Structures are given as structure tokens and as C-alpha cells.
Amino acid sequence: MYNVYQPWDRLKTCIVGTCYPPEYFSFITKSKVRSVMEKIAEETEEDLQNLIRLLEQFEVTVLRTGIGDTIESFYHENGVFLPPPITPRDHCVMLGNEFYVKSKHNNFEILKENWEMWKGTYWPKKAPETYDEYFALPDHIKDELKNQFDCGTEYFSYSSFSLQDKIIWGDIVRHVEQQGNKIINLTATDFPKNFASAYVTQLGKNVYIGSEEYKQDMTRTINVLNQSYPDRKFHATDTGGHSDGTFCVLKPGLLLSIEGFVPEAKKLFPDWEIISLPGPTWGQVNNFQELRKKNNGKFWVRNEEVNDEFTDFVGNWLVEWIGQVEETVFDVNLLMIDEHNIICPQYNEQTFKIFEKHGITPHIVDFRHRYFWDGGISCVTNDIHREPVI
């Protein structure tokens, strides 16, 4: 049975994300756009393969997210819509031996419960109960249903059905079930939206959940979780976004943190040594200041800063693919193999000296398009089995 209790325990099984293949972008007619997207796809998979090879050198079993048998299912009728399953840490979390995943079944239950209230003239009498039935609905009904849910495509859309079925409810969950693990389906009502590994840090029985926004009141959420799971102690952390982009637990008593999170980190871990990292240094990135005038600091692809066709394409069609890379510190977005080995996307003199001081060996795996995907090594992985070092 898989389990995760401490982030420094020896990593044994890890999910690694997947990008679309270059041929996915064959529909793009503008060559200056298509060639860039094809290059991003090729180089992303090359880097992920390098990451996998390193993990396997440490005898880590790697599971990949999937895109099914055909990439056509990931198209929107008007172009690109659904992001590739490249960041598995955003969708599930292993706490102890319980695997929490966002539930596709909840969507059908909500449909069933609200169908009579929502349905319009000439709608089917019964709510769809399968994907085939849902996909068969006319587009105007599906569009109306998305509006009724009023919580974005994350919980309900024909695209998110495809996403959850092929990524979360595909081979990975079946594999975890075969190990004997309990699968817990996350729903919008039972759990906060940020209940995934990107926001959640587990230290034994203590579970720290990052906030989606700064100064967010998470009192009710934490109280509900503590009442529902009395064998654990849940804590709120004011990360204002993904925890794995804010701090990284390196080993017992040692924490790597971005500069702005240090006061919060000292409250949470008063007896720990906290290593502070400054914010992003975009002055070192070629032409980023000029590009940010066009894309508001959302992404950067080397040598494409003046490719306006590409910039416009991303801004018009790939808004759900990108984040806010201007605010991201990739030097904290790391993956511990064990308390003596860590995977990093780049060299950082400050942190590497600290690693050496504490007997931690850094292993660099370049993730060249982290400034496009707004994701580092932690984002494109998800540890689902760790063994304590005895």
C-alpha cells in the first residue's frame, strides 16, 4: 500500500506529467505560431524524459499522466481549450495511505439533483448519467449547464470531464487502487478547491494547506477538516497561491522559503532554520520587460519575445494553460528524493551552498519551458509513495 507521511522520506513512486505531442498543434495555420508550440512540446517531453531517467536511477517507479488514445478529445470545437496533463500536483494528493482526487462522479450527481430546476424547454427528461450521454447533448445545453454551475470549468464542463477521466480517473487511479489504497473523491462542497499537493504539505499528522489568496479566511475550512479527520491536525498557511511555489521542506528542521513568506514560516515552524530566497530576478531574462507590456508578465519563451503572432495566440487561446510566471520563484519549486538528494531546475549559488552545508546533493534537471508552463520540478511531479529511512 502506498503512503506519504514526510516529504523527506525516500521517494519510491512518483507521477510525472505529460505534454501533448507536436502533432497536436498541426491545426495551427500560422507557421510562426505552430513551430513554436511544436518546439515547446518536443523540448518539454525531452526534459520530462531526463527527469524520469534521474528518478529511475534512484529506483523510483514513475507513473505518467495520459491523454487517452486520441488527442482529438482534447480539442475545443473552436481551437485549443484543455491544458495538457503536465502538472499532476494540481489534481490529487496522497495523505498517509489515502489518495484524494477530484471526483468526476460529483458532476453527474449535481446534474441529477438539479436537472428539474435547470432544464429548459425540449431538454431531455432525465439528466445524463454517462459521458456519452453528456457529450450527446446539444452545445447550447452544455453551455447553459456550465453557466448554471457558476464555478468555472474546473468543476464542470465537457472539457473538464475529459480531463478528469483521462488524467485523474485513468490508469493512475486504477494503479493506486490495486495497491489497496483508499480513494477519496474530492467534491466542491466537501473540500476546498486548493486540496491538492500543490497546496498541501504533510509533516506526519500535521497537514498545512496554503491559501488561494493572501489574507484569505480559512477558519471554517480548517475547522471542518479537523472535525472530519480527527486523526490529523490541519493548519492554514497564508501562501497566497501554491505552497510548492512558496516554501519547500528540505529535511527535519530545515525549510526553504521565498522572502515574503518568512514571517509566516517562523510562526508555523518557530524552531526551524529557515532559508530565505529573494523574489524573481527578471532583469536577467532577455527582453522580458518588453514582453511583459504585451502579456502582463504571464509567460516567456526564449527568442520569441518579439513574435507577436505567438504572443497573441497564447493570449487568445491558451489562457488556461499559463499562470503568472512573473511572480514565480522556481528555485523553491523542488522535489526531494530523500533528505540527502533534491532535484532542482537550475543552479542557484545561494541555495547550493546551503545544500552542501546540510549534506544535501542537488541534481539539476533543466525544465526549459518552465517560464511558459509556469511550473517547476515540483509542479510536474507528484509523490504518492515514500518509505521512511530506518
**Average pLDDT for the chain:** 84
CA proximity to 57, closest of 339, 387, 341, 334: 341
What's the whole-number mean pLDDT along residues 303-328? 86
Indicate whether 298 belongs to any domain: yes
Indicate whether 123 belongs to any domain: no
Q: Which domain holds residue 290?
A: 10-91+246-387
Other Cβ atoms closer than 10 A to 362: 17
What pLDDT, on the 0 to 100 scale, is given for residue 284? 55
CA 136-68-382 angle, to 5 degrees, is: 120
Picking from 52-66, 272-286, 348-362, which range would have the lowest pLDDT averaged per residue? Answer: 272-286
CA distance 239 to 42: 33
Q: What is the pLDDT of residues 51-81, one digit of tens each?
A: 999 999 999 999 998 776 666 666 654 454 5
What pLDDT, on the 0 to 100 scale, is given for residue 154? 39
Asked whether residue 292 carries a pLDDT value surpassing 50, the answer given is yes
Indicate whether 150 belongs to any domain: no
What is the total count of domains within the chain?
A: 1
Indicate whether 381 belongs to any domain: yes
CA proximity to 372, closest of 306, 317, 316, 326: 326
Indicate whether 197 belongs to any domain: no
Q: What is the pLDDT of residues 113-157, one digit of tens each?
A: 778 888 888 899 888 876 567 768 888 887 777 666 543 333 344
What's the whole-number mean pLDDT along residues 14-22? 93
Other Cβ atoms closer than 10 A to 333: 25
Amino acid (1-letter code) at residue 140: H
Q: What is the pLDDT of residues 223-244, one digit of tens each?
A: 988 998 899 999 999 999 899 9
Indicate whether 18 belongs to any domain: yes
CA distance 92 to 61: 18
What's the whole-number mean pLDDT along residues 95-105? 79
* 19's grid cell: 505534454
What pLDDT, on the 0 to 100 scale, is given for residue 74? 63
Q: pLDDT: is 288 or 13 the higher one?
A: 13
Indicate whether 368 belongs to any domain: yes
Indicate whether 355 belongs to any domain: yes
* 160's grid cell: 473538464
Which residue carries 495523505 as its cell? 95
